[in-house]
Amino acid sequence: MNAAKPFWERPIDTLNREEWEALCDGCGQCCLHKVEDADTGEIYHTNVACKLLNLKTAQCSDYPRRHKFVPDCLKLTPKTAGNLAWLPPSCAYRLRADGEPLPEWHYLVCGDREAVHAAGISVAGKVISETVAGPLENHIVWPYGDDEDAEEYLEPEGPAPWESK
Ligand code: SF4
């Protein structure tokens, strides 16, 4: 039964490597730095991107060798994808780990690689590089809110995490 489904509708632990990589919508949100409050454990999001992120396209400029330059770049797996609270609610890996469908702007659904940008989900053109940012604490833009906020963000018109409310 599962074999008849498109791979992005199958359980994520059944995907092969190629299918797993293809699940990424290319938003670039996971490539933004976060700041953790040491006392409360709360995660704050910044508009500061990893030095490898192409700020115009929201793509990693050296994805195959990224761990050589950024050793702590996290490798998402079917086991970790559902347990990372800092992943954006729109992240394809997080959605599929939770058994949720991909949004209509995901390129696998609509066939348009540009739709993630048009929907306001990607960080392309909206963030700065860590090479020029200075202290991350000066660039906090969005603490993740409650579930209501997450639902709002999944709407194309919803606020992006790097936009101040
Ligand atoms: S947040 Fe998720 S969908 Fe967006 S670039 Fe990162 S891994 Fe891909």
pTM of the model: 0.83
State the distance from the centre of ligand 1 to the C-alpha of 125, rounded, in angstroms. Answer: 16
CA gap 164, 149 in Å, rounded: 13
Contact 130 CB / ligand 1 (< 6 Å): no
pLDDT at 143 (0 to 100): 65
Cα–Cα distances in angstroms (integers) from residue 106 to residues 8, 115, 126, 128, 164, in the given order? 10, 7, 19, 24, 24
Ligand 1 pocket, residue 93 CB under 6 Å: yes
The pLDDT-based confidence of 42 (bands split at 50, 70, 90) is: confident
Q: Whose CA is nearest to atom 6 of ligand 1?
A: 30
What is the distance in A from the centroid of ligand 1 to the CA of 129? Answer: 18
- Percent of the chain past pLDDT 90, that is, above it, reads 76
pLDDT at 144: 44
| Alpha carbon distance 21, 97 (integer Å) | 14
Please give the Cα distance from 97 to 65 (Å, whole number): 26
Per-residue pLDDT reduced to its tens digit, 98-123: 999 999 999 999 999 999 999 999 99
Strand, coil or helix: 49: strand
Return the percentage of the chain with pLDDT > 70, whole number: 84
Q: Is residue 153 scored above 70 in pLDDT?
A: no
Q: What are phi and psi of 44, to 5 degrees?
A: -110, 140
Q: Is 47 in the pocket of ligand 1 (CB under 6 A)?
A: no
Tell me the C-alpha to C-alpha distance, in Å, between residue 164 and each of 43, 47, 65, 159. 15, 10, 33, 9
> Which has more pLDDT, 143 or 80?
80
Residue 161 has pLDDT above 70, yes or no: no
Cα separation, 96 vs 71, in Å, equals 26
Ligand 1 within 6 A of CB of 29: yes
Our answer on whether the CB atom of 30 is closer than 6 Å to any ligand 1 atom is yes
Rg over CA atoms, the chain: 16
